[in-house]
Amino acid sequence: MITVTDSLLPTPLGGTLINRVRPLHDASELRGLPTLELTDRAYADLELIATGAYSPLTGFLGEADYLAVIHTLRLDNGTPWSVPITLPIPREDARTYRGRVVLTRSGAPVGLLDVTEQYDARKALEAREVYRTEDAAHPGVAALYAAGDVNLAGDVTLFDVPRGAFPHHHRTPAEVRATIEARGWRSSVAFQTRNPIHRAHEYLQKVALELVDGLLLHPLVGTTKGDDVPADVRVRAYEVLLEKYYPHTRTLLSVYPAAMRYAGPREAILHALSRRNYGVTHFIVGRDHAGVGSYYGTYDAQEIFSAYTREELGVQILKFEHTFYCRTCGQLVSPRTCPHDAAHHLVLSGTKVREKLRAGEHLPAEFTRPEVAEVLRDAYLAAGD
């Protein structure tokens, strides 16, 4: 094992990797305190704040930071930040939550919130500015509208890191950083995905691997919309793909516990900044990153990074165009390298892929590796039983 004494990893956003994980040694400390049951997203946000993935945040945003993020893509002190990380509650419950609050999941205590502020959520404003639409058909906007009207703010404590369904792949930012340093990677690139990897994704990752020492395959495994492929199926697909087609010493599969917000360009920034906190030097942004439907332009998620300087971001953004298989070229290409029109291209929509899987059909090898296709087909057939 290689030991790196002088870290070459980027400094966490804000200069320090936040750590607000504190074991609960005496449950009697919680006696008499109000309890707040967390949603899936809020629990994911709690973990990401407490483990430093959302450094420099130490808790859920107060009103000044909330409004600054919405209007300026920065915290109130000027630090880059793009998506409000808030804890909304129903207005009628606001009086209950003063001072210290016990955060629970399925009734069990998982952390604490020291409430310092309560303020009204500006839902219409947040929808317009963050999601670029007030359409309730947008899953992120729908979640925003369904949440409470009052945001609680304050520092958090997490009692224990929830390793969840993927304990062997669930690493905190500090643990990912330690692994990168132990492997001696002087540079590394992260790839965010909420979908199974097909050949176009593989192409982008391997092009990036020609430029850097290591790849952090960092799939999002938090809450997604109902028609997305389930996280356990996706992780199994990643495992079989990495086992056979990637250099083991230059790749690391580690899950990213965030929930999807489908905020497109704004979420691309959040994904990049949090991967900086995990210790990578580069981050891949492809077409319609974190998008849904037709709410965002194909490359809006790339263009938005011009709001910051390279030094502010602290991570280099690798921008790739749409990649696909060209039957005439006989290989994976992009509009930059292929002279042929769409009639020559093999492009399968998510809907078409799901239709083929439900019908028990095989996906073309030009679209995805046979081993990945088999994992997906088996899962869809089992779900149909």
Among the listed residues 135, 119, 88, the one whose alpha carbon sits nearest the alpha carbon of residue 262: 135
Looking at the structure, tell me whether residues 147 and 237 fall in a common domain: no
Looking at the structure, tell me whether residues 232 and 349 fall in a common domain: yes
pLDDT at 272 over 70: yes
Structure confidence at residue 296 (pLDDT): 97
**Structural contact between residues 314 and 278, judged by C-beta atoms closer than 8 angstroms:** no
Catalytic residue among 194, 234, 276, 377: 194
Boundary-marking domain end, from 158, 186, 212: 158
Structure confidence at residue 5 (pLDDT): 37
Pairing of strands 324-326, 345-346: antiparallel
DSSP-assigned beta bridge partners for residue 322: none
DSSP-assigned beta bridge partners for residue 191: 217
Alpha carbons 87 and 361: distance in angstroms, whole number: 43
Residue 270 in domain: yes
When the pLDDT of each residue in the chain is averaged and rounded to a whole number, the result is: 94
Alpha carbons 374 and 365: distance in angstroms, whole number: 11
Looking at the structure, tell me whether residues 185 and 68 fall in a common domain: no
Confidence of residue 74 (pLDDT cuts 50, 70, 90): very high
Strands (E), 22-124: 35-37, 59-60, 87-89, 100-105, 108-120
Looking at the structure, tell me whether residues 140 and 221 fall in a common domain: no
Residue 308 in domain: yes
Quote the number of domains for the chain: 2
Residue pLDDT, tens place only, 280-299: 999 999 999 999 999 999 99
Looking at the structure, tell me whether residues 235 and 342 fall in a common domain: yes
Looking at the structure, tell me whether residues 204 and 116 fall in a common domain: no
pLDDT at 177 over 80: yes
Is 151 catalytic? The answer is: no
Looking at the structure, tell me whether residues 77 and 34 fall in a common domain: yes
**Structural contact between residues 14 and 55, judged by C-beta atoms closer than 8 angstroms:** yes
Structure confidence at residue 385 (pLDDT): 55
Is 277 catalytic? The answer is: no
Residue 375 in domain: yes
pLDDT at 202 over 90: yes
CATH number for 378 = 3.40.50.620
Longest CA–CA span in the chain (Å) reads: 70
3-state SS class at 5: coil
Distances (CA, A) of 167 to 11, 164, 222, 256: 26, 6, 14, 12
Residue pLDDT, tens place only, 187-198: 999 999 888 888
Looking at the structure, tell me whether residues 150 and 177 fall in a common domain: no
Residue pLDDT, tens place only, 334-370: 999 999 999 999 988 777 887 888 788 888 999 999 9
Pairing of strands 331-333, 324-326: antiparallel
Structure confidence at residue 1 (pLDDT): 30
Residue pLDDT, tens place only, 219-268: 999 988 877 888 999 999 999 999 999 999 999 999 999 999 999 999 99
Confidence of residue 7 (pLDDT cuts 50, 70, 90): low
Residue pLDDT, tens place only, 21-49: 999 999 999 999 999 999 999 999 999 99
Catalytic residue among 195, 236, 250, 354: 195
Question: In terms of residue numbers, what domain contains 349?
Answer: 173-384
CATH number for 35 = 3.10.400.10
pTM of the model: 0.94
3-state SS class at 270: helix
Confidence of residue 2 (pLDDT cuts 50, 70, 90): very low
Residue 332 in domain: yes
Boundary-marking domain end, from 132, 158, 184: 158
Boundary-marking domain end, from 158, 187, 212: 158
Looking at the structure, tell me whether residues 153 and 185 fall in a common domain: no
What value does the mean pLDDT take over residues 92-96? Answer: 96
pLDDT at 277 over 70: yes
Structure confidence at residue 4 (pLDDT): 35
Looking at the structure, tell me whether residues 145 and 281 fall in a common domain: no
Residue 74 in domain: yes
Question: Which amino acid is residue 299, in one-letter code?
Answer: Y
Looking at the structure, tell me whether residues 299 and 377 fall in a common domain: yes
